[in-house]
């Protein structure tokens, strides 16, 4: 069996930055074992599979890390919409409806930017039982909890950039992973990084789902409903956020870097 596959760098306009995702547009059902095996072979933070649902005028979308299927992924959703438009599965400016494990997600392109309507992820302040006030030599000023993950606010953007975590300790003391964040610098409102060793990703380059929680976290702290965010991984990525009641509008760009076939 041969399957077309495309690699997209998401949340960036430059190749070799942002977050890479492998995208497969499929006309026939693949098994979970097949999808997980392809994701393991691609060895990117996410591989996404899009299947057309003719009866409902929608598309099913599933995301896999190299080790597990996950409930929500921003950058691979953005990349999927980008590939669909370029391949003729969708038209520029029209709304794409994705059916996912996190409910229906609406996505549309707006010129060079792609806009995604995602659920706001609720956070609540809670002290971490292990890290307390220190995260690998960096002071933690505030902590919050969300399903499967933690948010640690550090003193400033430089602390986020220079943090060097021990991934074994992060793995042992989190369910999925840990988001670190701080007020931004330059033109950005916030900085962040995401470490997810328990889902097969020591550090995710740019993380859409984390920003669904960061929007809630920073809105509760500052009251700002629009944020320009930078994820300060080595690859780096820019995300624009807007809170609309219990939803988050996430805007980003994407660029194609590779296309081919996978045979199995």
238 is catalytic: no
22 and 84 fall within a common domain:
yes
What is the count of structural domains for the chain?
Answer: 2
Per-residue confidence (pLDDT) for residue 219, from 0 to 100: 98
Q: Which of 3-12, 104-113, 125-134 has the lowest mean pLDDT?
A: 104-113
In a shared domain, residues 31 and 48: yes
Identify whether residues 81 and 170 lie together within a single domain: no
Question: Could you tell me if 88 and 109 lie in one domain?
Answer: yes
Please check whether residues 155 and 199 belong to one and the same domain: yes
Are 199 and 146 in a shared domain?
yes
Q: Are 87 and 112 in contact (CB under 8 A)?
A: no
Shared domain check, 96 and 21: yes
Are residue 130 and residue 80 in the same domain, yes or no?
Answer: no
Same domain as 54, residue 155: no
Average pLDDT, the chain: 96
* Residues 129 and 240 grouped into a single domain: yes
pLDDT above 80 for 21: yes
Q: Are residues 150 and 80 in the same domain?
A: no
Task: Tell me which residue range forms the domain holding 149.
Answer: 124-244
Q: What secondary structure, in 3-state letters, does the chain show?
A: CEEEEEEEEECCCCCCCCEEEEEEEECCCCCHHHHHHHHHHHCCCEEEEEEEEHHHCEEEEEEECCCCEECCCHHHHHHHHHHHHHHCCCCCCCCEEEEECCEEEEEEEECCEEEEEEECCCCEECCCCCCCCEECCEEEEEEEEECCEEEEEECCHHHHHHCCCCHHHHHHCCCCEEEEEEECCCCCCEEEEEEEHHHCEEEECCCHHHHHHHHHHHHHHHCCCEEEEEECCCCCEEEEEEEECCEEEEEECEEEEEEEEEEC
Question: Under a CB-based contact definition with an 8 Å cutoff, are residues 26 and 11 in contact?
Answer: no
Average pLDDT in the 53-82 region?
A: 94
Q: Whole-model pTM?
A: 0.95
pLDDT band at 48 (very low <50, low <70, confident <90, very high): very high
CATH for 80:
3.10.310.10
If asked whether residues 179 and 255 sit together in one domain, one would say no
Q: What is the mean pLDDT of residues 42-62?
A: 92
Question: Residues 46, 115, 176, 203: which is the catalytic one?
Answer: 46
């Amino acid at each position: 069996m041969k399957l077309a596959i495309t690699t997209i760098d998401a949340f960036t306009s430059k190749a070799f930055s942002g977050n890479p995702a492998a995208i497969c547009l499929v006309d026939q059902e693949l098994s979970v074992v097949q999808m997980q095996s392809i994701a393991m072979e691609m060895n990117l933070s996410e591989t996404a599979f899009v299947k057309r649902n003719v009866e409902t005028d929608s598309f099913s979308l599933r995301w896999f890390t190299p080790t597990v299927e996950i409930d929500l992924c921003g950058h691979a959703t953005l990349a999927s919409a980008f590939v669909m438009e370029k391949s003729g599965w969708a038209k520029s400016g029209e709304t794409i409806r994705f059916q996912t494990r996190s409910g229906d997600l609406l996505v549309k392109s707006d010129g060079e930017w792609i806009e995604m309507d995602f659920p706001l992820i609720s956070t609540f302040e809670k002290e971490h039982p292990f890290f307390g006030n220190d995260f690998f030599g960096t002071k933690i000023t505030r902590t919050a909890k969300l399903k499967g993950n933690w948010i640690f606010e550090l003193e400033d953007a430089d602390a986020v950039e220079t943090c060097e975590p021990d991934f074994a300790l992060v793995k042992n003391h989190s369910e999925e992973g840990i988001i670190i964040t701080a007020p931004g610098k330059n033109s950005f409102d916030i900085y962040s990084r995401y470490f997810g060793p328990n889902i097969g990703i020591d550090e995710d380059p740019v993380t859409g789902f984390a920003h669904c929680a960061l929007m809630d976290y920073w809105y509760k702290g500052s009251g700002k409903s629009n944020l320009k965010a930078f994820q300060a991984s080595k690859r780096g990525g820019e995300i624009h956020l807007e809170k609309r009641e219990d939803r988050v509008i996430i805007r980003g760009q994407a660029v194609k870097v590779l296309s081919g076939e996978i045979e199995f």
